[in-house]
Amino acid sequence: MNLPTFTSRIFLIFPNSMLSRLFVIFVCFLLQSSSFISIFNIQPNFILIGIVIVTLKNDLLDGIKIGLFAGLFQDIISYGTFGMGLFTKTLSGFFAALLKKQIFSDNILSKMLIVFLVTLLDGATSLILINLFYTKVNILNALYSTTLPIAICSGLILGVFLLFERILIGYVVNK
């Protein structure tokens, strides 16, 4: 199984790979609900970062499963009405897997790009649903002022995390 490096290490602790990946998503939820990590007051979307990290390459169905779990969990604990998280996160999980398949995702920059694109897509979907079911919102304006900064921030945070991970692995291997 082509597990990402980060997950494969957690996989050693939890024998079931799906369980280990869902654990990563759970940690991402905890990070998202606290507001410790932010860049210029913008908090990245850790759930989408988590989805991109744990989604398997070349497996679209896996992306759907991971996204569905994340969406279900979001809907259970979030204030938004039921179904919003399920819709947006399932779609995001699918696109994360699709982009991982299409883009060479073994380097840091492409992973950052995937998170950026998935966050933009998640934002656009959320805004369309808000427009359809809640209230009229200027989608382009909201995309520019809210989603774009979150997408950039999420990409940067993942980049920093992966860079740290790479440095750490290099250090351990050298030792």
Partner 1 sequence: MWRKFLLKYKVYIILICLLLIFTIVLYYSVKAEYRSFGKSSLVLEIIYPWQKLTLKLFGGLKHIWQTGIYFVNLKKDNDRLNKELLMLREENNKLMEVMKENERLKSLLDYKKKVNFKNKVAMVIGRDINDYFSVIYIDVGEKDGIKRDMPVITYNGVVGRVVDVLSEISKVLLITDYNSSISGSIQRTRCVGSVKGRGNNICEMKHLSVNDDVKVNDLVITSGDGKFPKGLVIGEVINVSESLDGMSLNILVKPTVNVLKIEEVLVMLKE
Q: Which residues bind partner 1 (CB under 8 A)?
A: 29-37, 41, 43, 45, 47, 60-61, 64, 68, 71, 74-87, 90-91, 94, 123, 126-127, 129-130, 133-135, 137, 142, 145-147, 150
Least Å from the CB of residue 146 to partner 1:
5
| Residue 55 host element (H or E) | none
Least Å from the CB of residue 104 to partner 1:
21
Taking CA atoms, 72 is separated from 64, 69, 131, 148, in Å, by 12, 5, 21, 25
Using CA atoms, how far apart are residues 150 and 38, in angstroms rounded to an integer?
10
The residue with tokens 């990245």 is 44
Residue with smaller CB distance to partner 1, 36 or 104 = 36
Least Å from the CB of residue 106 to partner 1:
23
Residue with smaller CB distance to partner 1, 83 or 170 = 83
The residue with tokens 């604990």 is 77
